[in-house]
Structure 1
């Protein structure tokens, strides 16, 4: 029973992840809008020596001129224009940049969280009614999400980097050949610990997403059926999953923005990292771009989370029917 839950959840997650990958890529690019691309630290001025010098030469000071005002910040592009720019500058195939990492991530992270949630739900269900209370659903989601995220973090880091690579200047691109190459290069160049960069954020986000997504889907589905709004069929599954997708998007977007930026940051050897952690990233983001920066990419997040959740649960219900006899 337990193993079947992992298989069902894994199949549904991979189908949902691959079908909505371009929307996820657009979301990542939008979350990185407004962030400065950090170049390597320039050589300190005191180390630079002129080739020649004039001694005892008096040069009169020129009158100081007022500096021109800084240019206004560029308005953030919307999801359609971001998607069109990716296609125009990088080609249509760029919309599937990092899809191998998505497959690995769903295999590790989503299979684990979906399977564990199913196990906990079965274990904690009321013996007579078979139902699970909302607090127990949320608890099961929090535990399953945390463990799934810890398992899948290396694939998550690789996916974010592969999706973000196209926005960097050619000289700064990582040019990973695939998810295996990405993970091996990160381990060699930045150490094995880099594979778990942002893992605290990944775990927090996964706990929020899993608890809000899976628990709210089950809750909405039960409410629709028990109140005789619709029968247990495709209409109920689609309605409940759309509602669950909205709840998950609102709850997780701020953590998702910070997670994306921390995972994507480029740390040059011997230089100070752009961010010292999640809290430092959040504070710098809010100071530089305002509080609503934490909801950057919300439209593509909900545009992706909605279809992802629908495909996930509709596929899951169909896979359950197919594997019912096993």
Structure 2
């Protein structure tokens, strides 16, 4: 009979808190790249590129503009990342039970990530909308609450959910790529023999997962930025409205490469950012396990 000890899963609140701490750590470190990414995605025609956009923002608007719109994502990062990792944990256990498996597989890992992304998308839309409106170079909004007031006044409460469908797809694809790749990379890496080795493995697998998720989801992110960045005119159908038709429109009018506008700043943020997320989450969960003691360790 096997006497191997299997730690008890941590309480939901521990997973939720670990995701929240990781999210805040990541956003404070990499936010300026998100501003540059959004600016590039909102540009029609020839882009200034990463360095040119950075220089243009600093020269014309000041360094502080690189942190414009930080409040909504900062307020969001705690619940957003908390939901991501808590949902991934919940759906992972659910799919394992449904499949009759005792260990995660590649397919289940990818499916779990997609389900976690779908869950996360419902939380983030209003915050993403406010962030995009503030990051736009043409923005005249005074701050987050001014965006909310004007959008609600013109479009009603549902106006805060413009881009829901594109946000859904963006998060489904990114999380599927992220968690699916993490599983593959962790399986390929040598087993860690020390706490430092474990941190290294988590960072590397998270960074590669962040890169993979970004490659897969960037076209959906471009469409989301276009949908949320546009001003709605009553009685007029927006040019960018639904995800897949919008992808075809952009590819036809601007070329397929336009679907990857903002890729460089996005991947420079989300590849190491994905590593930071996983590293902080796993480290924080380890702290919780030690604090709670058996049967969690």
Q: Give 1:124 shift.
A: 4.5
CA shift digits 1:51-96 (9 cap, x unpaired):
xxxxxxxxxxxxxxxxxxxxxxxx4212011011101111111101
Aligned twin of 1:218: 183
Q: Give 1:125 shift.
A: 4.8
1:274 to 1:122, Cα distance in 2 relative to 1, 3 A: closer
CA contact (8 A) 2:174 2:213 kept: yes
Decide which of 62, 65, 70 is 1:94's aligned counterpart.
Answer: 65
**Which segment is superposed worse, 279-288 or 150-159?**
279-288
Q: Give 1:257 shift.
A: 0.5
The structure richer in helix per residue is: 2
Root-mean-square deviation over aligned CA pairs: 2.5
Q: Give 1:5 shift.
A: 1.0
Decide which of 153, 157, 172 is 2:129's aligned counterpart.
Answer: 157
Aligned twin of 2:8: none
Aligned twin of 1:193: 158
CA contact (8 A) 1:212 1:244 kept: yes
Counterparts of 2:196 and 2:288, CA distance in 1: 21
Decide which of 135, 140, 151 is 1:174's aligned counterpart.
Answer: 140
Indicate yes or no: 2:19 matched with 1:21.
no
CA shift digits 1:100-137 (9 cap, x unpaired):
11113323332212111012324545899963011111
1:281 to 1:123, Cα distance in 2 relative to 1, 3 A: closer
TM-score, scaled relative to structure 2: 0.85
Aligned twin of 2:216: 251
1:316 to 1:151, Cα distance in 2 relative to 1, 3 A: same
Decide which of 22, 31, 45 is 1:12's aligned counterpart.
Answer: 22
Provide the aligned length of Structure 1 versus Structure 2.
279
Counterparts of 2:237 and 2:14, CA distance in 1: 47
Q: Give 1:233 shift.
A: 1.9
* Equivalent position SS for 2:189: helix
CA shift digits 1:189-215 (9 cap, x unpaired):
221111111111101110111111123
Please identify the structure whose Cα radius of gyration is greater: 1
TM-score, scaled relative to structure 1: 0.78
CA contact (8 A) 1:124 1:132 kept: no
Q: Which runs of 5+ in 2 are unaligned?
A: 1-10, 293-297
1:128 to 1:149, Cα distance in 2 relative to 1, 3 A: closer
CA contact (8 A) 1:245 1:302 kept: yes
1:121 to 1:277, Cα distance in 2 relative to 1, 3 A: closer
Aligned twin of 1:145: 117
Counterparts of 1:269 and 1:5, CA distance in 2: 43
CA contact (8 A) 1:155 1:183 kept: no
Decide which of 206, 213, 238 is 1:241's aligned counterpart.
Answer: 206
Q: Give 1:154 shift.
A: 0.6
CA contact (8 A) 1:242 1:306 kept: yes
CA contact (8 A) 2:189 2:201 kept: yes
* Equivalent position SS for 2:43: coil
Aligned twin of 1:82: 53
Q: Which runs of 5+ in 1 are unaligned?
A: 36-74
Indicate yes or no: 2:284 matched with 1:293.
no
Indicate yes or no: 2:106 matched with 1:106.
no
CA shift digits 1:261-309 (9 cap, x unpaired):
0110012345553334334432332222111110111111111111211
